[in-house]
C-alpha cells in the first residue's frame, strides 16, 4: 500500500513539472511605436450662464400677480410680477397735487414780481420790496422742484410695482405665491441668460505653461465639453480668458471657456468636463490591456528572441482611449505581449503572432 501511494505522488510531481514547461496557446504581440499627436486632457468644469441675476422686489407690498412659471423662457421687458400698487398710485396723485399747488403759487408770485418791478421803476415802492419778491420767487421755484422730485419718486414706485425681465432668460424657482407680502429687496426668483454659457475649470501650472507654449488664448483654442452623463456636447467652445493669479492653496489657475447653447440644454449650475487639446511628441503607445500592476507599480510582459516573456517596469505618463503613452524605456525593437497577461508568468515561453501597433490604434479608434 505504501509503495502504491508513493508511486502516485511521483506520478503527480512529474505531471506538474511537465505542465510548467508546456507552451500555452498562441498569443498576440506587437512593438510600440512613437507618436506625435494631439491628446485631450479632461478638467472638471462648473457651468455658469453668461448672465444670471437675482430678481428682487423694489417696493413693499402684496404680490398681486405672478405672470411667469419656473423653467420658462421670458423676453426682455416682459412683466414677471405685479405688486399691489393702490397705495403708490394714491401717493402719486398726492404728489401731483402738491406739484400743481406749488406751480400755481410760483406763477402768482411771478405776476407779483412783474408788478413790483413796475412800481420800483416808477419809484412808488422801494427796491427792498423787489428783493423780497425775487426771494419769494426763488423759494417757490425750489418748492416746485421738490414737489417735482416727489412726483418722480412716486412714479418710480408705481413703475416698480411691475417687475420686468431685464433680459431674455429662463426663470428659476418661485419661492412666493400670489398674495404673499414681500419687502423691498425680497428675492422673487433668479433669471439666467443661457444663450451662451461659461465653463470654468482649474489647470495646474505645468498644463498652463504647455497651453501658453501652444499659443494660449491668442489662438482661441477650441475645447470640447463632456456632459455629466458622459455624452459629448455637440458645440465646440473657445477658451476666452485666464485668471490673473494662481491659487496659493491648490497651485491651479482658472480658465474660462465660452460655449454657445442654441438648444438651451446647458443650465446655470451644471457640471461637466472640459477637454483641452495638448500636442505631445515622442511618446510610445502601449495598449492599456497589456499593462498590469504589482504593488502600485505598472508592468508589461516583453518577449525576447527565444520566445521567453519577462516583466518590464513602465511609468504611464499620459492616457488616450485604450492606450497609455510612455515617454521612456522602450524602443521599436521591443515586443510587448498584447493579450493573455493573466495566462503567463515570468520566464515562460510562449508562441505568438505579431500585430502592428498602428493597426491596434486604428481598431480602437484611439487617434
- Name residue, grid cell 446655470: 268
* 229, part of any domain: yes
pLDDT digits (tens, 9 = 90+) for 16-75: 444 444 456 689 999 998 888 888 889 999 999 999 999 999 999 999 999 999 999 999
- Name residue, grid cell 473657445: 238
349 and 318 belong to one structural domain: yes
Question: How far from 20 is each of 24, 59, 116, 340, CA to CA, in Å?
Answer: 10, 88, 131, 16
Domain range for 301:
22-35+282-363
pLDDT digits (tens, 9 = 90+) for 208-242: 988 888 777 766 668 999 999 999 999 999 999 99
Residue by residue, pLDDT tens for the chain (367 residues) are 444 443 444 444 444 444 444 456 689 999 998 888 888 889 999 999 999 999 999 999 999 999 999 999 999 999 999 999 999 999 999 999 999 999 999 999 889 888 888 888 888 788 888 888 889 889 999 999 999 999 999 999 999 999 999 999 999 999 999 999 999 999 999 999 999 999 999 999 988 988 888 777 766 668 999 999 999 999 999 999 999 899 999 999 999 999 999 998 999 999 999 998 888 888 999 999 999 999 889 999 999 988 999 999 999 988 888 899 998 888 888 999 998 888 888 999 988 899 998 888 888 876 5
Short-list 227, 233, 168, CA closest to 194: 168
* 79, part of any domain: no
Cα 89 to the center of its chain, rounded Å: 44
* 16, part of any domain: no
Short-list 348, 366, 346, 347, CA closest to 358: 366
* 63, part of any domain: no
- Residue where a domain terminates, one of 224, 245, 280: 280
| Domain CATH number, residue 265 | 2.40.30.170
Question: Are the CB atoms for 88 and 59 separated by under 8 Å?
Answer: yes
Question: Are the CB atoms for 273 and 225 separated by under 8 Å?
Answer: yes
100 and 153 belong to one structural domain: yes
| Domain CATH number, residue 291 | 2.40.420.20
Say what the pLDDT of residue 5 is.
40
* 66, part of any domain: no
* 116, part of any domain: yes
Buried b / exposed e over 189-225, threshold 16 CB at 10 Å, is: bbbbbbebbbbbbbbeeebbebbeeeeeeeeebebbb
- Residue where a domain terminates, one of 253, 280, 307: 280
Number of folded domains that form the chain:
3
- Residue where a domain terminates, one of 111, 141, 160: 160
* 4, part of any domain: no
276 and 293 belong to one structural domain: no
Question: Is the alpha carbon torsion for 266, 271, 277, 283 positive or negative?
Answer: negative
Amino acid at each position: 500500500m505504501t509503495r502504491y501511494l508513493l508511486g502516485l505522488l511521483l506520478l503527480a510531481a512529474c505531471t506538474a513539472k511537465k505542465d510548467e514547461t508546456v507552451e500555452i496557446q498562441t498569443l498576440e504581440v506587437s512593438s510600440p511605436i512613437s507618436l506625435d499627436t494631439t491628446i485631450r486632457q479632461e478638467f472638471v468644469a462648473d457651468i455658469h450662464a453668461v448672465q444670471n441675476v437675482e430678481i428682487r422686489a423694489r417696493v413693499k407690498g402684496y404680490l398681486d400677480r405672478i405672470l411667469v412659471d419656473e423653467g420658462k423662457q421670458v423676453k426682455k421687458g416682459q412683466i414677471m410680477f405685479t405688486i399691489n400698487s393702490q397705495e403708490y398710485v394714491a401717493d402719486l396723485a398726492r404728489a401731483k397735487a402738491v406739484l400743481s399747488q406749488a406751480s400755481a403759487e410760483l406763477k402768482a408770485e411771478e405776476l407779483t414780481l412783474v408788478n413790483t418791478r413796475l412800481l420800483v421803476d416808477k419809484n412808488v415802492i422801494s427796491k427792498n420790496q423787489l428783493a423780497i419778491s425775487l426771494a419769494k420767487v426763488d423759494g417757490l421755484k425750489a418748492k416746485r422742484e421738490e414737489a417735482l422730485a416727489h412726483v418722480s419718486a412716486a412714479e418710480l414706485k408705481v413703475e416698480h410695482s411691475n417687475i420686468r425681465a431685464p433680459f431674455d432668460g429662463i426663470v428659476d424657482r418661485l419661492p412666493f405665491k400670489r398674495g404673499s407680502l414681500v419687502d423691498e429687496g425680497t428675492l422673487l426668483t433668479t433669471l439666467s441668460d443661457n444663450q451662451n454659457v461659461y465653463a470654468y475649470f482649474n489647470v495646474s501650472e505645468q498644463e498652463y505653461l504647455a497651453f501658453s507654449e501652444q499659443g494660449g488664448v491668442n489662438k482661441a483654442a477650441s475645447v470640447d465639453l463632456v456632459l455629466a452623463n458622459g455624452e459629448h456636447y455637440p458645440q465646440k467652445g473657445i477658451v476666452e480668458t485666464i485668471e490673473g493669479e494662481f491659487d496659493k492653496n491648490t497651485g491651479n489657475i482658472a480658465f474660462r471657456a465660452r460655449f454657445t447653447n442654441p438648444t438651451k440644454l446647458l443650465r446655470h449650475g451644471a457640471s461637466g468636463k472640459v477637454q483641452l487639446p495638448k500636442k505631445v511628441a515622442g511618446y510610445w503607445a502601449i495598449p492599456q490591456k497589456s499593462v498590469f500592476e504589482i504593488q502600485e507599480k505598472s508592468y508589461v510582459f516583453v518577449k525576447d528572441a527565444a520566445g521567453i516573456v519577462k516583466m518590464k517596469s513602465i511609468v504611464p505618463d499620459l492616457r488616450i482611449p485604450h492606450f497609455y503613452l510612455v515617454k521612456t524605456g522602450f524602443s521599436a525593437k521591443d515586443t510587448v505581449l498584447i493579450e493573455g497577461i493573466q495566462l503567463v508568468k515570468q520566464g515562460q515561453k510562449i508562441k505568438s503572432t505579431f500585430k502592428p501597433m498602428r493597426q491596434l490604434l486604428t481598431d480602437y479608434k484611439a487617434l
